[in-house]
Amino acid sequence: MVKICCIGAGYVGGPTCAVIAYKCPEVKVTIVDINQNRIDQWNSDILPIYEPGLDEIVKATRGRNLFFSTAVDEAIIEADLIFVSVNTPTKKTGMGAGFAADLAYIEAATRRIAKVATSSKIVIEKSTVPCRTAESMRKILDANSRADINFQILSNPEFLAEGTAIEDLFSPDRVLIGCLDTPEGHKAQQTLADVYAHWVPRERIIGMNLWSSELSKLAANAILAQRISSINALSAICEATGADVDEVGFACGLDSRIGPKFLKASVGFGGSCFQKDILNLVYLSESLNLPEVAAYWQQVVIMNEYQKSRFAARVVKKLFNTITNKKIAVLGFAFKKNTGDTRESAAISLIKYFIQENANIHIYDPKVSVEQIEEDLIYPGIATPEQYAKRINIHQDAYSAAQDADAVIIVTEWDEFKTLDYSRVYENMNKPAFIFDGRLILNHKELKAIGFEVEVIGKVIQ
């Protein structure tokens, strides 16, 4: 019986190891975290993460072969395989600030494994990390553990999309397992492959070089983000020429060499991975003395920020060049639908801009809590507590958020926003009533027929 420990009960470790427990009933899985409140939530009826299908999987396995605990040392000692799935945020200070990944949590977890382990372990990088992080982990483990204990390090990057994480885990495009090219490394690689083989076809479990596996995660996210920034750059040209960005994206997607995914114009990408991983790639390129490569990837992030500021400026321009004391309804605060995650959400950037213009912002999101919105907005450079109290209002439904509003802005593509009674919304707004579709999810001609002044990304509505 294989025993698995996962250090880190966040967006990656929680769902990943819950699915492993669900698919491998004979494997004991313990997810540990030093945050008592988070563990309490995982052990409650209201999980700390919203992900379609996750609730059912956790409740089917919790207490059977899936456990959540703060007893980190005990779980490490007992485990055969240890997933390291801790946060690796972008550094805010010091060398590489604004670009490099902060590996403090990775180092702390690695040192703890080395300190408390009493037998040999397979240690698996699950967090998104810079290339060759495993080398640093190995040095820490070798320098701080007993001579009779052997550690094998694997790279097993996650490729989950929030909102479809369970579906992605049930039927992944690929599972990468990187190892060192040694007999012991390949044996460890096979051990982890056997776990995934309980439900993933063997041909989708890809063994590779340790460093290639680490870099593949950054590369995949960078290429996907590049596609979004590319279509968003084209959206500005579409607006200026009268072309339709949806039609342009559709035409490009018909090319079999390109394909249709990630060619939907929007107010900009967000989430915990894309921007962080691109900046990580920029820093890596600069560290390797490849300034042209760094500048190339940096432009993807620059384009994303430009798209947000361009959209915000359009709102102000359309509302007669001032939004001072005007009521702006923001529908959606999560960075995408089907998740409560707000990291790098476009909504935060837009609201920051609107606060600077002295607007009154009314927010509704079906899955983001009031506490999370407050935490994200009361932040240096966004809003002071006084500004938050004066300018920000949180609502429990879209209709009340839009009541007496001068403009409605769709920032997250929640399905419920597609089916709102917009006649009712329009009737209770100030006239003229403006609607800004930042995610291209509405029927714009129908909205104009109701009476709305409609503004969208990359389209000129006749």
By annotation, the residues acting in catalysis are 158, 217, 273
DSSP state of 52: T
How many Å apart are CA 195 and CA 2, to the nearest integer?
A: 9
How many Å apart are CA 140 and CA 121, to the nearest integer?
A: 14
Phi, psi of 253 (to 5 degrees): -70, -20
Please state whether beta strands 81-84 and 360-364 pair in parallel, antiparallel, or not at all (unpaired).
unpaired
Residue 17 amino acid letter: C
DSSP state of 204: G
Find where tokens 């397979």 sit. 122
Whether 177 and 192 have beta carbons less than 8 Å apart is answered as yes
| Alpha helix positions (H), 319-421 | 346-356, 370-377, 385-391, 398-402, 415-418
Edge-to-edge strand order for the sheet containing 205-209?
66-69, 28-32, 3-7, 81-84, 121-125, 151-155, 175-179, 205-209
Radius of gyration of the chain (CA): 24
- How far CA 446 is from CA of 242, 418, 440, 454, 461, in Å, comes to 19, 12, 14, 10, 11
Decide: residue 164, CB within 10 A, 0-12 exposed, 13-18 middle, 19+ buried: middle
> What residues are paired with 101 via a beta bridge?
90
Whether 417 and 441 have beta carbons less than 8 Å apart is answered as yes
Whether 67 and 30 have beta carbons less than 8 Å apart is answered as yes
The residue among 60, 217, 73 whose CA lies nearest residue 134 is 217
Helix axes 210-241, 245-253, angle to 10 degrees: 140
Whether 132 and 285 have beta carbons less than 8 Å apart is answered as no
For 238, the token pair is 């579409």
